């Protein structure tokens, strides 16, 4: 439990949401700036691999692991830590505090390997959560003393044009029902919100959690007898594949004045809260035309009452 308590011992922390925020990442690189994600194991000898934090304006600590992948034939030797406040090692899990708020790129450690020069092409080298991390994710502490969930980078060893890095880029998009306008006092009791769908726009297969909600308004959002209409998880989607949940419904009461409903849709990659997409459908209700204005006699009556 030492490493899992390490970040908590640095600071008293509170969880922060990642949706819509910049997500810090940590990965293995051939350089200390986190630019070259392809590591070359082409000849016998000492091979240095750098761990670098990227994609953040400021963090103060990190907890992760970078064990040598089975496809890499090099022998792990040791770590050289950049920061003195470090617990653990890269192969089984490591935590380190930076002492101050630092912005990316942050070189955090150097791993030493004895290379054999025999690693096959396109060997993937991911960073992953420390097994002792309470959240089960890569963890960071930001400059506001809050604990953040981050993401790993999958680099390559002996990569080439057929396996560019970083590997396994996840991405998602959502399609939502079109905006619609109803006359007030509509006779449609429930409007079916058809058109919501989730699209895997990344390069790896993934499942996605999805949620449908609305802001305060005159209508009620219902699942139309199927709870999966409001929230659920897609099947594992291949790159380019889409999934349409069953449609939610909007129960429309008698509305006599201008009103709008905002129905929000959110999709998040399972296990990767930094990969998310959202959309909104706006339903507008127009005010009815006053009865007295529907005839010429009614218009004249407005001036004689």
The CATH number of the domain where 28 resides is what?
2.60.40.680
Say if 111 falls within a structural domain: yes
pLDDT tens-place string over residues 180-199: 888 766 567 788 999 999 99
Residues 6+ apart with CB under 8 A from 117: 41, 42, 43, 44, 45
Closest CA to 259 of 141, 178, 180: 180
Please tell me the predicted confidence (pLDDT) of residue 287. Answer: 74
pTM: 0.56
Q: Kindly tell me if the per-residue pLDDT of 39 is higher than 50.
A: yes
Please tell me the predicted confidence (pLDDT) of residue 187. Answer: 63
Say if 305 falls within a structural domain: no
Co-location of 189 and 134 in the same domain: no
- Class of residue 130 by CB neighbours under 10 A (exposed 0-12, middle 13-18, buried 19+): buried
Residues 6+ apart with CB under 8 A from 292: 298, 299, 301, 302
Please tell me the predicted confidence (pLDDT) of residue 142. Answer: 93
Q: Is 197 strand, coil or helix?
A: strand
Cα 3 to Cα 6, 8, 34, 139, 150, distances in angstroms? 5, 9, 25, 12, 17
Please tell me the predicted confidence (pLDDT) of residue 224. Answer: 94
- Whether the CA torsion 25, 26, 30, 32 is positive or negative: it is positive
Q: What is the mean pLDDT of residues 87-112?
A: 96
Co-location of 241 and 120 in the same domain: no
Please tell me the predicted confidence (pLDDT) of residue 223. Answer: 96
Q: Which of the 8 DSSP states describes residue 6?
A: H
Co-location of 195 and 244 in the same domain: yes
DSSP H/E element including 2: helix 2-10
Co-location of 39 and 151 in the same domain: yes
Please tell me the predicted confidence (pLDDT) of residue 189. Answer: 79
Strand partners for 174 = 198
CA 70 to chain centre: 28
Tokens encoding 199: 């699209």
Confidence of residue 172 (pLDDT cuts 50, 70, 90): confident
Please tell me the predicted confidence (pLDDT) of residue 299. Answer: 46
Say if 166 falls within a structural domain: no
Q: Kindly tell me if the per-residue pLDDT of 6 is higher than 60.
A: no
Please tell me the predicted confidence (pLDDT) of residue 158. Answer: 96
* 156 close to 125: Cβ distance less than 8 angstroms: yes
pLDDT tens-place string over residues 72-82: 999 999 999 99
Co-location of 151 and 213 in the same domain: no
Confidence of residue 13 (pLDDT cuts 50, 70, 90): very low
Say if 9 falls within a structural domain: yes
Say how many domains are in the chain. Answer: 2
Please tell me the predicted confidence (pLDDT) of residue 234. Answer: 95
Please tell me the predicted confidence (pLDDT) of residue 254. Answer: 77
Please tell me the predicted confidence (pLDDT) of residue 185. Answer: 62
Cα 29 to Cα 108, 149, 151, 195, 232, distances in angstroms? 11, 21, 15, 42, 37
Report the mean per-residue pLDDT for the chain.
Answer: 85
Please tell me the predicted confidence (pLDDT) of residue 5. Answer: 37
Co-location of 95 and 12 in the same domain: yes
Co-location of 153 and 183 in the same domain: no
Q: How far apart are CA 138 and CA 130, in angstroms?
A: 7
Confidence of residue 17 (pLDDT cuts 50, 70, 90): very low
Co-location of 125 and 26 in the same domain: yes
Q: Kindly tell me if the per-residue pLDDT of 235 is higher than 80.
A: yes
Co-location of 140 and 189 in the same domain: no
Co-location of 127 and 42 in the same domain: yes
Residue 181 maps to which CATH number? 2.60.40.10
Q: How far apart are CA 296 and CA 282, in angstroms?
A: 35
Please tell me the predicted confidence (pLDDT) of residue 190. Answer: 87
Co-location of 195 and 95 in the same domain: no
Q: How far apart are CA 284 and CA 261, in angstroms?
A: 7
Strand partners for 75 = 114
Please tell me the predicted confidence (pLDDT) of residue 171. Answer: 79
Co-location of 281 and 141 in the same domain: no
Please tell me the predicted confidence (pLDDT) of residue 276. Answer: 85
pLDDT tens-place string over residues 250-267: 998 877 778 889 999 999
Say if 301 falls within a structural domain: no
Q: Kindly tell me if the per-residue pLDDT of 10 is higher than 50.
A: no
**Which tops the pLDDT comparison, 5 or 240?**
240
Please tell me the predicted confidence (pLDDT) of residue 22. Answer: 65
Residue ranges making up the domain that contains 104: 2-157
Say if 150 falls within a structural domain: yes
* 295 close to 245: Cβ distance less than 8 angstroms: no
């Amino acid at each position: 439990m030492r490493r899992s308590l390490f970040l908590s011992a640095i600071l008293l922390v509170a969880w922060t949401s990642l949706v819509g925020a910049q997500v810090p990442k940590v990965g293995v690189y051939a350089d200390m700036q986190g630019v070259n994600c392809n590591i070359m194991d082409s000849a016998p000898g000492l091979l240095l691999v750098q761990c670098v934090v990227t994609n953040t304006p400021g963090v103060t600590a990190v907890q992760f692991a970078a064990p040598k992948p089975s496809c890499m034939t090099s022998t792990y030797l040791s770590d050289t830590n950049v920061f003195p406040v470090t617990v653990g090692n890269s192969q089984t899990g490591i935590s380190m505090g930076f002492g101050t708020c630092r912005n990316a790129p942050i070189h955090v450690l150097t791993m030493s390997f004895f290379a054999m020069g025999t690693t096959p092409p396109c060997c993937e080298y991911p960073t992953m959560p420390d097994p002792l991390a309470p959240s089960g994710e890569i963890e960071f502490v930001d400059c506001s003393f809050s604990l953040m969930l981050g993401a790993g980078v999958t680099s390559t060893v002996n990569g080439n044009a057929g396996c560019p890095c970083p590997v396994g880029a996840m991405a998602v998009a959502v399609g939502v029902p079109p905006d619609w306008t109803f006359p007030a006092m509509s006779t449609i009791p429930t409007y079916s919100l058809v058109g919501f769908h989730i699209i895997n726009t990344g390069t790896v297969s993934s499942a996605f959690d999805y949620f449908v909600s609305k802001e305060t308004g005159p209508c009620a959002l219902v699942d139309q007898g199927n709870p999966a209409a409001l929230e659920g998880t897609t099947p594992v989607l291949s790159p380019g594949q889409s999934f349409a949940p069953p449609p939610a419904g909007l129960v429309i009461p008698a509305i006599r004045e201008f009103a709008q409903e905002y129905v929000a849709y959110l999709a998040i990659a399972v296990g990767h809260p930094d990969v998310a997409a959202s959309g909104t459908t706006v339903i507008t209700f127009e005010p009815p035309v006053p009865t007295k204005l529907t005839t010429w006699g009614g218009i004249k009556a407005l001036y004689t009452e």
